[in-house]
Structure 1
C-alpha cells in the first residue's frame, strides 16, 4: 500500500500591513490583478498556494469590511505581493479593486497559517471556479519540472480563461457556465475522468458545488480521503461566508 499525502501545518506571525499599490491590471473581464509592496511587507510569509490573507477595505458608505484572498504571488526579492480580485457586483473588495489606483494603500493581515500538502503525489487534479483560480495558478507555477497537473476551471466565458506559466506539464480544460452554484457543468466535465495512481484532487468553488464534486470522487471513484482537499471558498446567499474545510461536510 502506497504512502498517503500529509498536511504539514505552519503558523505565521499575524499582523496588519499597509502596502502601496505599484501596478493594477485587468487580467480578464472578471479578474483584477493588484501588485503592491513596501517596507511593511518585510517578514511576510505564505507557505502554501491556497493560503489566504485578510484584505481590509472601506466601503462607499464609510463602513469597514474585510474579505479573504489568496496571496497569488509573493516575490520577496522584489518586495511585492500580488493579489487577484474576482470582480463581482456587490462585493466590497471587488468595488475597492475596481476603483483602486497606483499609489493607493492596500491593507492586509495574515496569513495566519499554511497547510502544506506533502507526499508521493504523481499528479495534481485542480478543480475550481474563478475564486479558486489564484490558488490554482500559484500551485501550477510553483510545480517543478517533470510534475504534471490537470486543471478544470469553470468560468463564464472564454475571455475569462487564464494562461499559467509553469515548468510542469499542465493540461488546462475550461468549462463555460452561467450559474456558479450549479455543480452540473463541472460534474459533467469530470464524469469520464480516470484518475491515475497517486493523483491528489484539490477542489475550491461555491460550498455546495465543492461538496458535490468531493462526493463524486469519494463515492464514485472510491478515492481515499487522504488524497482530496475540498473547500467552499464562498457560500451562495451568504456574504463573507466560506467553508474552508469540507472534511466534515
Structure 2
C-alpha cells in the first residue's frame, strides 16, 4: 500500500465524452487553446498535473461509425478514428469547462483539427485512464520540456504553494512562443530557443534549487531519455523523484 504522502497512481473509470467547442483562444502564434463544454463533461476527473486524455478524430464515415458505437475502440474491427494524447490544461467543474492546448505544428489530426476549430464544433475525448499524484512533499521542482509539455508544466506551477521553488526550462521555436507562467511558488523560467541553444547542454549547466527536489521531463522521446540520464548521472538525483516522459517521437526515430 502506498503511504498517504507518497507519489502514487490513481486509476479512473474510462468514459468517452462528446463535447462542444465553447471558445478558441490563441495563446501564442503556435499555441491554441480550445475550451470545451457540454453535459457529458459532468463527472470528469483529472487529479494529476500531467494527466492525459485521448482525443478522437474521425475523418471518414467508417471511422465515425466506429466512434459512434459504444464498444471500446481498441477492440473494434476495421477503420478506427485517430487517437492522440493531450494534457487537460484546465478543468473547472463549477463552469463545466475543459481547456486543451494545441501546438499548431501544421500536420497530424490534432493540429489540423485545432487549426480550423470553431465555436459549436464537437470533439470526442476519452479518459484520463489514471493520474500520477505528486503530493506537496518537495522543497523544489525542476520542470523541463518543450511546447508540448507546457500544459503540464503550467498546471504543476499553478498547483504549487507559497514557499516552494521551481526551475523551469522550456524549449520553443522562437521568442514569440514564450507564454506567461504563474505560480504562488518562487519560479525561474529559462526559455531555450530551438536551433540557438541545445536543451541537453542547458540542462547540464543548471544550478538546481535547494532542498528536496522533484524533477519532471516531457519532450521528444529520445531527448527525454538523455535528459533523464543527465539528471541521474550528473546531478545524482534519486530515481524515484525523476519522471521523464516521451511526448512525441522525431521522424525516423527508432523509439518504440
Q: State TM-score, norm by structure 1.
A: 0.88
Partner of 1:36: 36
Q: 1:67 aligns with which of 65, 78, 84?
A: 84
- 2:144 is equivalent to residue 127 of structure 1: yes
CA distance in 1, matches of 2:202, 2:24: 33
Partner of 2:66: none
CA distance in 2, matches of 1:190, 1:93: 30
Partner of 2:106: 89
Partner of 2:221: 207
Measured against aligned partners, the alpha-carbon deviations of 1:62-88 in whole angstroms (never above 9, x if no partner) come to: 852110000000001110000001111
How far off is 1:95 after superposition?
0.2
Q: Which has the larger radius of gyration?
A: 2
CA distance in 2, matches of 1:59, 1:88: 19
Q: Look up the SS of the partner of 1:230 in the other structure.
A: strand
- 2:225 is equivalent to residue 225 of structure 1: no
Q: 1:144 aligns with which of 161, 181, 187?
A: 161
How far off is 1:146 after superposition?
2.2
CA distance in 2, matches of 1:110, 1:48: 12
Q: How does 1:21-60 map to 2 (within 5 A)?
A: 21-59=21-59
CA distance in 1, matches of 2:96, 2:61: 33
Partner of 2:71: none
Q: CA RMSD in A?
A: 2.3
Native 8 Å contact 2:21 2:118 kept in 1 = yes
CA distance in 1, matches of 2:61, 2:251: 22
Q: Which runs of 5+ in 1 are unaligned?
A: 244-249
Q: Look up the SS of the partner of 2:134 in the other structure.
A: strand
How far off is 1:152 after superposition?
0.4
CA distance in 1, matches of 2:192, 2:62: 38
- Check 1:55–1:238 CA distance in 2 against 1; reply closer, same or farther (3 A cut): farther
Q: Look up the SS of the partner of 2:192 in the other structure.
A: strand
CA distance in 2, matches of 1:22, 1:149: 33
Partner of 1:153: 170
Native 8 Å contact 1:42 1:79 kept in 2 = yes
Native 8 Å contact 1:128 1:154 kept in 2 = yes
- 2:123 is equivalent to residue 106 of structure 1: yes
- Check 1:193–1:178 CA distance in 2 against 1; reply closer, same or farther (3 A cut): closer
- Check 1:139–1:237 CA distance in 2 against 1; reply closer, same or farther (3 A cut): same
CA distance in 1, matches of 2:145, 2:17: 29
Q: Which runs of 5+ in 2 are unaligned?
A: 64-80
CA distance in 2, matches of 1:242, 1:40: 36
The number of aligned residues is 235
Native 8 Å contact 2:136 2:160 kept in 1 = no
Q: Look up the SS of the partner of 1:127 in the other structure.
A: strand
CA distance in 1, matches of 2:42, 2:252: 35
Q: State TM-score, norm by structure 2.
A: 0.85
